[in-house]
Amino acid sequence: MTTLRTPGPTIGVVGGGQLGRMLAEAAAPLGVEVVVLDPTPDCPAALVARDQIVAEFDDEAGIRELAARADVLTFEIELADQDVMERVSEDTGTPVHPKPSTLETIHDKLVQKRTLEDAGVPVPPFRAVDDADDVRAAIDDYGAPVMLKARTGGYDGRGNVPVESKSEAEDALEAVAGPAMVESFVDFEREVSVIAVEGDDEVATFPIGENVHEAEILRETIVPARSSEAVTERAHAVARDVLEVMDGRGVYGIELFETTDGEILLNEIAPRPHNSGHWTIEGAASSQFEQHVRAVLGWPLAATDLRSPTVTTNLLGDVDDERPARLTDLDEILETPRAALHWYGKRQARPLRKMGHVTLSADESASDTSVGELLERARALEDAVTFRP
Amino acid sequence: MTTLRTPGPTIGVVGGGQLGRMLAEAAAPLGVEVVVLDPTPDCPAALVARDQIVAEFDDEAGIRELAARADVLTFEIELADQDVMERVSEDTGTPVHPKPSTLETIHDKLVQKRTLEDAGVPVPPFRAVDDADDVRAAIDDYGAPVMLKARTGGYDGRGNVPVESKSEAEDALEAVAGPAMVESFVDFEREVSVIAVEGDDEVATFPIGENVHEAEILRETIVPARSSEAVTERAHAVARDVLEVMDGRGVYGIELFETTDGEILLNEIAPRPHNSGHWTIEGAASSQFEQHVRAVLGWPLAATDLRSPTVTTNLLGDVDDERPARLTDLDEILETPRAALHWYGKRQARPLRKMGHVTLSADESASDTSVGELLERARALEDAVTFRP
């Protein structure tokens, strides 16, 4: 029997970037308070959250303070330290969702892939590599190119190095600089993702999104994805299988490859709201952030259906060097019907840094609007603004 | 040429109740910061706003501090003092929107009605009254009953006293206790309202809502209103005429009577986002709060079209006496697809106090959903919860 008081329940979030900010934005109407822990004073989430504890992500004293103020702990970055969180949770009795064990599984991409493969989730061929000979052997088996991946610490394509031929093996290993794995290069038709939610005794998945990457950074998400119905169903089924493996409530961003022959292969999992799910704020019956709030609190989940075709485009730092964040020529975005601006509140722009996003939704009464057309219009909006002086 | 930095522009808001809170919720994604001034420490808006200045609404030193921190001043309560705001604005150079002169026009209901009538806005017959003889003369002219209204300070029906017969004139004047006016009782088919926005060089109106009052308190708003197309057009035309009279940018809640013969008469104006416009958060292409943010900053206005039929029901204190706010049995609301809960963060429940609201939207794919059916479902959701112990 869910009950609300003032102050409402408090979620303690390790990390206070844009995901924490949008989480706090979704929590406020529900009467749910958010306290974030982040080392950067006045981090993006600080504006909206009840409070910020300024501490490193693995600072045990800081996380203890966070646990003392919260009814449940969660995280918005994988840099959260699973051991510290587990220890604090055991000592304080404040639960963590998703479970630190899930974070541990996901932290090491090799462990992640092995665990998922064991659970019957389709993954591209992969193997651990210790040296250049192992990489070359993988090329023999999978064919060139292969993708060499750092087992830990990589995100937004960092730590991923394509290896085009055997002669590049040494250089690639040096670039990765640490424990590595090799994955077969997937000949994909498109990259899609499913935002999936594990609730108390229920699960939910949002309509699948189609992701457009450039230089391994997500540029746009298109919903609905331009996949066949059969492929869409497979993607949802894989997402539900992934949730079976994950331990603890919350939102998971599940990135998938749709191969040229219509198979679905798992790419990567983020145990948190995901960049490719920002479209849900305007495009779905509920947002991934509201779902994460509900899930970690053990509240009932919300409906996830599409409201209308939607495209989200990221506003990345288009600068050559770090400089104070100043986005100009916003009028076209502000004047476009059904275009929603989201600003992350970062003080400095850096090359390709995620500074905000714009979501463009189709008018429900114009249900024949193609996502291709929406995508073109969203790109034009993104092209109209700049962080350059 | 609109530009965004971090920190973004700051709006200083006199009043930090639920309207200020929802204003801050709408401002955050846009990178706009909100500072509120309110005498109640940790007022509803404080959770979401950047900061709260704890001061009375007419405290000049507090408003000067607010002006010093803000790019523009606005207010979310009519209790804001127009003289103080005007003086502070002149001294500090921080503009106020809407203009204090508009607040002055609206504060006195007699002045409000006279100004609007002079501008050609249709209003019910009205007149100033000084004593019981004047009230009785009004009954002779308009027929009984008439509505005796306090010229200042009334809201949510407070200060409005129906006078059924001449013999009640003295008692009614005593109840109003101050300068008063009499209005002819309008034989209305329904009460509707238009949320209208005055921008920098543009205006916008949201689809008209149908308001259901009980004991002069707004219970539900139904959108679209069940008015004919001709009546709807008249309502929009009247709203645009009202904006002509109002001075300064911002959102105006314009309450109207639809008479039994299909005429539109002005009831009252609120120079701020309005309870009857909360449906816009989920039901329209933009919300009244985002529009107010854009308008007071001089940014372009957003689209206002309906996303799908929508009903908002207010969660009022259903208690006999003041008690700590504790709303139980929320599960049905949380489990209902397209039901959105908004909690205002008030610590105490009081009889009929506005504690939150629930908006229920129709599924866009079920475009034949009648608002009558939505209204019944929304009422059932409201009936399922209680503040009673």
Q: What is the DSSP string of B51-97?
A: EEEE--TT-HHHHHHHHHH-SEEEESSTTS-HHHHHHHHHHH---BS
Average pLDDT over residues A42-51: 96
Phi/psi at B246 (5° precision): -75, 145
Q: What's residue B114's pLDDT?
A: 96
Rounded Cα distance between A90 and A86, Å, is: 6
Query: Which 8-state DSSP code applies to residue B338?
Result: T
Would the CB atoms of B331 and A6 count as touching at under 8 Å?
Answer: no
Chain A neighbors of B1, CB-CB under 8 A:
328-331
Closest chain B C-alpha to A46 CA, distance in angstroms: 9
The yes or no reply on domain B125-184 and CATH 3.40.50.2300 is no
- Using one digit for the tens of pLDDT, what is the confidence trace for A328-348? 999 999 999 999 999 999 999
User: How would you class B174 by CB atoms within 10 Å of its CB: exposed for 0-12, middle for 13-18, buried for 19 or more?
Assistant: exposed
Average pLDDT over residues A53-64: 97
Would the CB atoms of A343 and B308 count as touching at under 8 Å?
Answer: no
Tokens of B314: 């207010």
Would the CB atoms of B300 and A33 count as touching at under 8 Å?
Answer: no
Name the strand (E) or helix (H) holding A203: strand A203-205
Would the CB atoms of B4 and A345 count as touching at under 8 Å?
Answer: no
Interface probe, candidates B3, B5, B6, chain A, greatest A C-beta count within 10 A: B6
Q: Is the pLDDT of residue A154 over 80?
A: no
Would the CB atoms of A5 and B324 count as touching at under 8 Å?
Answer: yes
Instruction: For CATH 3.40.50.20, list the domain ranges present in chain A.
Output: 10-96
Q: What's residue A158's pLDDT?
A: 72
Query: Which 8-state DSSP code applies to residue A209?
Result: E
Would the CB atoms of A285 and B338 count as touching at under 8 Å?
Answer: yes
The chain B residue lying nearest A285, using CA atoms, is B338
Rounded Cα distance between B212 and B221, Å, is: 6
Would the CB atoms of A337 and B305 count as touching at under 8 Å?
Answer: yes
Instruction: For CATH 3.30.470.20, list the domain ranges present in chain A.
Output: 188-384
Q: Which CATH number is A188-384 given?
A: 3.30.470.20
Instruction: For CATH 3.30.1490.20, list the domain ranges present in chain A.
Output: 125-184
Say if residues B323 and B349 touch (Cβ distance below 8 Å).
yes
Chain A neighbors of B25, CB-CB under 8 A:
25, 28-29
Q: Which among A343, A381, A329 is positioned nearest to A360, based on CA atoms?
A: A381
Q: Determine the residue type at A334.
A: L
Rounded Cα distance between B204 and B208, Å, is: 12
Name which of B294, B326, B337 is nearest A3 (Cβ-Cβ). Answer: B326
Closest chain B C-alpha to A382 CA, distance in angstroms: 14
Q: Is A53 helix (H, G, I), strand (E, B) or coil?
A: strand
Name which of A8, A29, A343 is nearest B342 (Cβ-Cβ). Answer: A29
Please give the C-alpha separations between residue B41 and each of A32, A46, B15, B139, B196, in angstroms, as whole numbers.
Answer: 18, 20, 12, 46, 32
Would the CB atoms of B325 and A5 count as touching at under 8 Å?
Answer: yes
Q: What's residue B264's pLDDT?
A: 98
Interface probe, candidates B286, B342, B343, chain A, greatest A C-beta count within 10 A: B343
Do the annotations mark residue B149 as ligand-binding?
yes
DSSP per-residue codes, B124-191: --EEEE-SHHHHHHHHHHH-S-EEEEESSS--TTTTEEEE-SGGGHHHHHHHH-SSEEEEEPP-EEEE
Chain A neighbors of B22, CB-CB under 8 A:
29
Name which of A50, A324, A356 is nearest B47 (Cβ-Cβ). Answer: A50
Say if residues B30 and A341 touch (Cβ distance below 8 Å).
yes
Would the CB atoms of B6 and A343 count as touching at under 8 Å?
Answer: yes
Interface probe, candidates A18, A36, A343, A367, chain B, greatest B C-beta count within 10 A: A343
Q: Are strands A51-54 and A33-38 parallel, antiparallel or unpaired?
A: parallel
Name which of A3, A324, A325 is nearest B327 (Cβ-Cβ). Answer: A3
Chain B neighbors of A3, CB-CB under 8 A:
326-330
Closest chain B C-alpha to A351 CA, distance in angstroms: 17
Q: Which among A213, A216, A229 is positioned nearest to A262, based on CA atoms?
A: A229
Q: In DSSP terms, which residues pair with A214 in a beta bridge?
A: A217
Q: What's residue A367's pLDDT?
A: 62
Print pLDDT tens along chain B (389 aa): 799 999 999 999 999 999 999 999 999 999 999 999 999 999 999 999 999 999 999 999 999 999 999 999 999 998 889 999 999 999 999 999 999 999 999 999 999 999 999 999 999 999 999 999 999 999 999 999 999 999 987 666 678 899 999 999 999 999 988 899 999 999 899 999 999 999 999 999 999 999 999 888 899 999 999 999 999 999 999 999 999 999 999 999 999 999 999 999 999 999 999 999 999 999 999 999 999 999 999 999 999 999 999 999 999 999 999 999 999 999 999 999 999 999 999 999 999 999 999 999 998 777 667 899 999 999 999 999 999 99
A156 pLDDT tier (thresholds 50, 70, 90)? low
A79 pLDDT tier (thresholds 50, 70, 90)? confident
A155 pLDDT tier (thresholds 50, 70, 90)? low
Q: Which CATH number is A10-96 given?
A: 3.40.50.20
Q: What's residue A121's pLDDT?
A: 97
Q: Is the pLDDT of residue A368 over 80?
A: no
Closest chain B C-alpha to A183 CA, distance in angstroms: 38
Q: What's residue A41's pLDDT?
A: 97
Chain A neighbors of B334, CB-CB under 8 A:
2, 294, 299-300, 302
Rounded Cα distance between A312 and A357, Å, is: 7
Q: Is the pLDDT of residue A321 over 80?
A: yes
Would the CB atoms of B28 and A25 count as touching at under 8 Å?
Answer: yes
Would the CB atoms of B345 and A302 count as touching at under 8 Å?
Answer: no
User: How would you class A303 by CB atoms within 10 Å of its CB: exposed for 0-12, middle for 13-18, buried for 19 or more?
Assistant: middle
A177 pLDDT tier (thresholds 50, 70, 90)? confident
Closest chain A C-alpha to B206 CA, distance in angstroms: 13
Contacts 24+ apart (CB under 8 A), A207-216: A207/A284, A207/A304, A207/A305, A207/A306, A208/A232, A208/A235, A208/A236, A208/A256, A209/A276, A209/A277, A209/A279, A210/A371, A211/A255, A211/A276, A212/A375, A213/A157, A215/A157, A215/A352, A216/A156, A216/A157, A216/A160
Q: What's residue A262's pLDDT?
A: 94
Say if residues B213 and B191 touch (Cβ distance below 8 Å).
yes
